[in-house]
């Protein structure tokens, strides 16, 4: 578990000031590795889902193509994206 969460917060305070800095730190330190970024984000405990969502949203834009583990993409809810691209 990163000690940086002691200084940046981990979302336990339920405020943006307590959540966003750690998420940005996780993303900045793992821009090339989506999986590691997410595991680092959830290791901080606190508001894990929000921190992981922020971190993942940033890293997926920078990391190499197909960086999200295939096993993860196979186990998500399927939805029709065609309604968004008419």
Q: Is 73 annotated as a binding residue?
A: no
Q: Is 19 among the annotated ligand-binding positions?
A: no
Listed residue (71, 80, 23) closest to 47, CA to CA: 23
Give the orientation angle of helix 48-62 with respect to helix 16-29, to 10 degrees: 40
67 in a known ligand binding site: no
Q: Distance between CA 2 and CA 24 in Å, rounded?
A: 13
Binding residues for Mg(2+): 47, 49-50
Binding residues: 47, 49-50
């Amino acid at each position: 578990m990163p000690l940086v969460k002691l200084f940046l917060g981990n979302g336990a305070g339920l405020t943006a000031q307590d959540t966003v800095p750690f998420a940005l730190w996780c993303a900045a330190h793992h821009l090339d590795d989506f999986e590691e970024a997410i595991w680092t984000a959830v290791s901080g405990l606190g508001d894990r889902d929000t921190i992981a969502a922020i971190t993942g949203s940033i890293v997926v834009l920078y990391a190499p193509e197909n960086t999200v583990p295939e096993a993860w993409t196979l186990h998500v809810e399927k939805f029709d994206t065609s309604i968004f691209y008419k």
